[in-house]
Structure 1
Amino acid sequence: MPTLPWTTPTTPPQGAEAHVFASRFETRTLWGAFKFLLRTPGVWRQVSRAPGAYGATLKAEPLKRTFWTLSAWESPAALKTFARSGPHGPTARILAAEMKDATFASWTVPGDRLPPDWTEAVRRLT
């Protein structure tokens, strides 16, 4: 799967701050990576409609069993609501047992500086 392009469900208001969230997941097995890929479309649709979502992208390296996400939100609360609801909530619980490693990072940027840079996300995750 190639990198999913940055999608912008909601444009930040002028002068708004964006809460950026990045993650890196490594599954234990290729079967776990396949399960991750199978659930990606549902979560991706959820992001595209999520209240408070300013944008998101995903890089998948299934043969390396590694997945990267990068998203921006109007607030940490909007991200938390997203993470616990819709397809994402049960998907995260189901896939937890498949994970070998998970790393997370968050920071803020001015809304007019979106989308965030992958280079910065990878630096913060490693």
Structure 2
Amino acid sequence: MALTGTYLRTLDEKRRLAVPKRVKDDFAEENLESLIVAPGTEKSLVVYSPKSFDQYAARLSGAPEHQRYMRLFYSSAERLEFDSQSRIRIPDRLADYAGLKRDVYLLGVQDHAELWDKEAWEAFINTHSPEFDQLALKAMS
């Protein structure tokens, strides 16, 4: 099932993120114990299940023109274990990369989730929502 939805969350003082049960379920992985978090585009973080991360890695493999991107991406990716309350702790360097403050959005984006600082996501929405119809036409063609 494709990951969907927008979830406003709050990082605690230790930068722990409570992952909603629906998001965990939508990853459709039995006994999901961890997620992989890595830098995304536009100062976001991408969040994959181990299985979806492996599928993404398979799409990237063997393309020498992607070597610099792969070095940056994989060296920054972190496997984060869930605690007993279904939280993951976002490492400082990743939180700093994405400019995460206290309030964040966790977004479902087909095969992965994205984590955005609240202000950055709201700016993205305000900028790109007027283009929705044009973007939809491009995506469907």
What is the TM-score when the length of structure 2 is the normalising length?
0.32
Question: Greater relative contact order: 1 or 2 (C-alpha under 8 angstroms, separation 6 or more)?
Answer: 1
Which has the higher Rg, Structure 1 or Structure 2?
Answer: 2
Structure having the larger proportion of residues in strand: 1
What is the TM-score when the length of structure 1 is the normalising length?
0.34
